[in-house]
């Protein structure tokens, strides 16, 4: 049996980042959106694929991961 998983790492919500963007919006009277929005859009995280092979008893025999 083979199981395949896909994870996205590095795109977790961040309260600190949200507060920072809100502060920059206030300090620049909203002009920060021109810079901040593309920055956030580029921060999509990193995709990792994991494939696990199991034997007939359900024990993992091989684990492979790759970044895409």
Domain boundary assignment for the chain? 2-67
Q: Which helix (H) or strand (E) holds 2?
A: strand 2-9
Place of tokens 């091989």: 62
For the record, the structure tokens of 53 come out as 């092979």
One digit per residue, the tens of pLDDT, for the chain of length 68 reads: 999 999 988 888 889 989 999 999 999 999 999 999 898 888 778 999 999 999 999 999 999 999 98
Place of tokens 């956030």: 40
Instruction: Look at the pTM and tell me if it is higher than 0.85.
Output: no
């Amino acid at each position: 049996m083979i199981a395949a998983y896909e994870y996205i790492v590095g795109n977790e919500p961040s309260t600190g980042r949200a507060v920072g963007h809100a502060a920059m919006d206030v300090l620049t009277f909203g002009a920060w959106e021109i810079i901040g929005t593309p920055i956030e859009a580029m921060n999509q995280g990193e995709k990792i694929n994991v494939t696990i092979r199991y034997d007939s008893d359900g024990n993992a025999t091989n684990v492979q991961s790759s970044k895409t």
